[in-house]
Every structure is written in C-alpha cells, then in structure tokens.
Amino acid sequence: MFDILVYLYETYYRPESCPDSIVLAKKLSAIGFDDEEIVEALDWLHGLNNLHSGSSQAEIEEFAAGFRVYTEQEHSMLGASAIGFIEHLYFTKLINVQQREIVLERALAVGESPISIEKLKIIVLMLLWSQGREPDMLMFDELLLLEESQEPRLLH
C-alpha cells in the first residue's frame, strides 16, 4: 500500500490531478501493483478524504487549547517512537491539531503495530498532499532527509 501512496505523491503534483478511483485503479494495475494493494491504498485514501470535511475553525481552536492524552490502544498500536514523532511535528508547529488527529487516525487505520517511522512520514506527506500543501524545507528535512540510523525522538 505504501508503495502506491509514494507513487501517487511523486506522480501527481496535486490531488486534483489524480484520476478518479476506477481509472486510477486501472493505471496502477497496468503499472504492476497488486490488486489487493490497490484496493487497500484506495480505501485508505478514501478514508483520508472523508476526514477533511470535519470541524470548523472555531472547534479546532477550542480543541487545540486542550491537552492530548493517548489511549492505551493508541500506545500499543502506534508505539512510543511514532507518538513521539507525531508530537514533535505538532509542537514544532509543522502540523496543526486537526492534522495531528488525522495522522493518528490514518496511522491506526493501517493496522500495523507498532507503525514504523518511515510509514508515518508517508502518512504525513499524503495528508499534506491531500490538502494541497507542500512541506516547507524544515518539514521536508524531518520527513525525507532524516537518516534511518538516527534514533527517533521520544516525547518524555
């Protein structure tokens, strides 16, 4: 699934330029992606698109004033490294509170426990892509240029 997401990010500059699901599925199949992976990726993207039509700006600002407590299920599904990375992006203002919640929901939808930082970075990139935003240079460094051997940041 993640190979397809990366392909979409690299191939379609804006989500609007991406064809509808049926045409996209045919293109992905012609390229050689597995049908099961295509269905999984398209379902994941559909879930991402459904999350955008959520809260008003006032609700987001009210929610942002609170403190985010992660549930036991979120800790076990995501792992400490992933939660630390998400919180790092949030506290450095690279993502806002609504984006953080979307990243969390989409990471949980993957169903991997714990989710790798590399896959989490792809989720953040796909969120930004779906919102028509390009990562600024600081975020680009965080998401793409961080060496795999480097220890992930943990939130204490």
- pTM to 2 decimals? 0.80
- Does any domain span residue 156? no
Q: Could you list the mean pLDDT of each consecutive 10-residue stretch along the chain, which spans 156 residues?
A: 91 86 94 94 91 57 69 92 92 89 94 90 91 70 54 47
- Does any domain span residue 18? yes
Give residue 132's region: left, alpha or beta (phi > 0; psi -120 to 50): left
Q: What is the per-residue pLDDT for 17?
A: 87
Task: Decide: helix, strand or coil at residue 17.
Answer: helix
The domain containing residue 20 runs over which residues? 2-145
- Does any domain span residue 153? no
- Does any domain span residue 152? no
CA distance 108 to 131: 20
Domain count, the chain: 1
Q: What is the per-residue pLDDT for 104?
A: 94
Two tokens at 115?
């989710």
Q: What is the per-residue pLDDT for 148?
A: 47
- Does any domain span residue 123? yes
Two tokens at 8?
């979409």
- Does any domain span residue 150? no
The length of the chain, given as a count of residues = 156
- Does any domain span residue 154? no
